């Protein structure tokens, strides 16, 4: 049974059947899942949720699928860690890290692909596909394999080795396109129009995007059924940021948490900052850019939900920041050194922006703050490889060890 009434245009409100469709025929606005919140409010309780397995499906009433047969690798319910050491360095008292590296393919994309692939199976698709900046490729390849589906994965050809191998191992048809993500996405929109494939982030986007809400749900549950005061979220297409906001509003709407003014902050790389640049220029539309950053997972120059991300930031009285490549590397190292978490470049962006937002006074340093770490550093090792200490190679004896310790640490 589903609590989704229809797909609904975000702009004109026109409703559509719950099929693989993502744009409005009347105004070209994006479609979104529309729920029966009154019914959900009657049926859902904290106790019911708490009694279910520790994965994203514990929030099933607020996810856009019909049945209870999920394509799952047990994604979600990742750790929410109180980050006291990092907090101390930044002068923050109530800082938390939501560590989404702890997902089956080590990024938050497992949430969105679990939902999109489950819905694709319900709609009778036998082929899963995507246009990816990297992590989505890994998740689609893995979840497609798990469901026994055919899988076509499109990426920019210059991705990190860890992301390429992390997709290839699941044996998809991996296509490296000579161009950036925006070129890949344009090509895939064309392919999606011709082949009957479930492109998770194109024709399945209304379902896919809903999976990101589970990060907000978990955060509230893990904080003891209360929303944070402020959150810092990395922005690529802008979908994750808007859905963390939507998920929190839904939890309030169905009575699971008290109303709260949560502030949402976006984090981008300087080399691809259409949303942050628009925010800082105080305009409500962004200008597309040509990406040039080590944060390849966030390198979307023409973000599909950039406009809504800006709206969410404004509505929540939040903000946006950007980080240079050296700041991204420092951010990765800072998080690893203080909290023992090795994040990918997108995590470096989040931590670097968190730091800058605290220093500028945009973030309240005493408020309950959650920073979202969305992918693992093991996939982007080349970003930090040349910025770490060297290994000390020694002979296997005590003298050699002690002599090696006399050398200064660089």
Residue 220 site contact among ligand PLP, Zn ion, none (CB < 5 to 8 Å, cut-off depends on kind)? none
Work out which of 62, 200, 236, 256 binds ligand PLP, going by CB under 6 A: 236
Residue 26 site contact among ligand PLP, Zn ion, none (CB < 5 to 8 Å, cut-off depends on kind)? Zn ion
Rounded to a whole number of angstroms, the minimum distance from the CB of residue 382 to ligand PLP is: 16
Work out which of 204, 375, 377, 380 binds ligand PLP, going by CB under 6 A: 375
CB 311 within 8 A of CB 245: no
Which of the stretches 54-62, 152-160, 238-246, 256-264 binds ligand PLP when contact is defined by CB under 6 A?
238-246
In angstroms, rounded to a whole number, what is the distance separating the alpha carbons of residues 296 and 9?
A: 30
Q: Per CB under 6 A, does 238 bind ligand PLP?
A: yes
Contacts of 27 (CB under 8 A, 6+ apart): 9, 11, 12, 14
Would you tell me how many other CB atoms lie within 10 Å of the CB of residue 210?
A: 26
Q: What phi, psi does 190 have (nearest 5°)?
A: -65, -45
Rounded to a whole number of angstroms, the minimum distance from the CB of residue 15 to Zn ion is: 10
Radius of gyration of the chain (CA): 21
Residue 14 site contact among ligand PLP, Zn ion, none (CB < 5 to 8 Å, cut-off depends on kind)? Zn ion
Residue 192 site contact among ligand PLP, Zn ion, none (CB < 5 to 8 Å, cut-off depends on kind)? none
In the complex with Zn ion, the residue whose CB is nearer, 24 or 294, is 24
Q: Per CB under 5 A, does 12 bind Zn ion?
A: yes
Which of the stretches 69-77, 80-88, 235-243, 402-410 binds ligand PLP when contact is defined by CB under 6 A?
235-243
Residues of span 70-129 touching ligand PLP by CB under 6 A: 107, 109
Q: Per CB under 6 A, does 338 bind ligand PLP?
A: no
Residue 11 site contact among Zn ion, ligand PLP, none (CB < 5 to 8 Å, cut-off depends on kind)? Zn ion
Rounded to a whole number of angstroms, the minimum distance from the CB of residue 315 to ligand PLP is: 17
Q: Per CB under 5 A, does 26 bind Zn ion?
A: yes
In angstroms, rounded to a whole number, what is the distance separating the alpha carbons of residues 133 and 384?
A: 19
**Cα torsion through 139, 256, 11, 135, rounded to 10:** -10
Write down the residue that tokens 């996810």 correspond to: 63
Rounded to a whole number of angstroms, the minimum distance from the CB of residue 161 to ligand PLP is: 16
Contacts of 195 (CB under 8 A, 6+ apart): 127
Tokens in use for 286?
Answer: 């962004």
Q: Per CB under 6 A, does 235 bind ligand PLP?
A: yes
Residues of span 157-216 touching ligand PLP by CB under 6 A: none
Residues of span 292-321 touching ligand PLP by CB under 6 A: 297-298
Work out which of 4, 20, 24, 257 binds Zn ion, going by CB under 5 A: 24
Residue 328: Cβ-neighbour burial (10 angstroms; 0-12, 13-18, 19+): buried
Contacts of 235 (CB under 8 A, 6+ apart): 241, 266, 267, 268, 275, 276, 298, 303, 306, 309, 320
In the complex with Zn ion, the residue whose CB is nearer, 9 or 368, is 9
Residue 235 site contact among Zn ion, ligand PLP, none (CB < 5 to 8 Å, cut-off depends on kind)? ligand PLP
Contacts of 361 (CB under 8 A, 6+ apart): none
Closest CA to 50 of 224, 255, 216, 210: 224
Q: Are strands 198-199 and 127-131 parallel, antiparallel or unpaired?
A: parallel
CB 362 within 8 A of CB 321: yes
Q: Per CB under 6 A, does 346 bind ligand PLP?
A: yes
Q: Are strands 15-16 and 4-9 parallel, antiparallel or unpaired?
A: antiparallel
In the complex with ligand PLP, the residue whose CB is nearer, 50 or 169, is 169
Residue 12 site contact among Zn ion, ligand PLP, none (CB < 5 to 8 Å, cut-off depends on kind)? Zn ion
Rounded to a whole number of angstroms, the minimum distance from the CB of residue 211 to ligand PLP is: 10
Q: Per CB under 6 A, does 374 bind ligand PLP?
A: yes
In angstroms, rounded to a whole number, what is the distance separating the alpha carbons of residues 266 and 322?
A: 8
In angstroms, rounded to a whole number, what is the distance separating the alpha carbons of residues 348 and 248?
A: 25
Where on the chain is the footprint of ligand PLP (CB under 6 A)? 107, 109, 135, 234-240, 297-298, 344, 346, 374-375
Query: Applying CB under 5 A, which residues contact Zn ion?
Result: 9, 11-12, 14, 24, 26-27, 29
């Amino acid at each position: 049974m589903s609590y989704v009434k229809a797909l609904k245009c975000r702009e004109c409100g026109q409703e559509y059947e719950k099929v693989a469709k993502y744009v409005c025929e009347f105004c070209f606005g994006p479609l979104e899942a529309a729920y029966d919140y009154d019914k959900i409010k009657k049926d859902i309780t904290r106790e019911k949720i708490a009694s279910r397995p520790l994965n994203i499906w514990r929030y099933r009433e607020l996810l856009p699928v019909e049945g209870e047969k999920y394509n799952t690798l047990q994604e979600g319910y990742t750790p929410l860690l109180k980050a006291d050491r990092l907090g101390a360095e930044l002068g923050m008292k109530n800082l938390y890290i939501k560590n989404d590296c702890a997902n089956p393919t080590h990024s938050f994309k497992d949430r969105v692909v679990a939902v999109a692939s489950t819905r694709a199976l319900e709609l009778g698709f036998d082929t899963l596909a995507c246009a990816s900046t990297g992590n989505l490729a890994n998740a689609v390849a893995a979840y497609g394999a798990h469901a026994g589906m055919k899988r076509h994965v499109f990426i920019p050809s210059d991705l990190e080795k860890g992301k390429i191998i992390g997709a290839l191992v699941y044996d998809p048809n991996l296509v490296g396109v000579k161009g950036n993500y925006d070129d890949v996405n344009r090509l895939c929109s064309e392919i999606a129009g011709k082949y009957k494939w479930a492109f998770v982030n194109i024709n399945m986007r209304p379902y896919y995007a809903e999976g990101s809400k589970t990060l907000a749900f978990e955060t509230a549950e893990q904080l003891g059924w209360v929303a944070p005061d402020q959150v810092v979220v990395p922005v690529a297409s802008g979908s994750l940021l808007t859905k963390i906001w939507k998920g929190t509003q839904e939890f309030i709407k169905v009575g699971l948490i008290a109303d709260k003014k949560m502030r949402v902050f976006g984090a981008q790389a300087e080399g691809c900052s259409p949303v942050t640049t628009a925010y800082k220029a105080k305009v409500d539309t962004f200008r597309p850019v040509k990406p040039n950053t080590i944060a390849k997972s966030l390198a979307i120059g023409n973000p599909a939900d950039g406009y809504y991300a800006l709206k969410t930031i404004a509505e929540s009285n939040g903000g946006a920041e950007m980080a240079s490549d050296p700041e991204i590397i420092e951010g990765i190292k800072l998080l690893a050194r203080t909290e023992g978490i090795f994040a990918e470049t997108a995590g470096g962006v989040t931590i670097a922006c968190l730091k800058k937002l605290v220093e500028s006074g945009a973030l309240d340093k005493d408020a309950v703050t959650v920073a979202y770490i969305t992918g693992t550093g093991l996939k982007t090792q080349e970003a930090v490889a040349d910025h770490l200490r060297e290994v000390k190679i020694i002979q296997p004896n005590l003298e050699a060890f002690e002599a090696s310790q006399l050398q200064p640490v660089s």
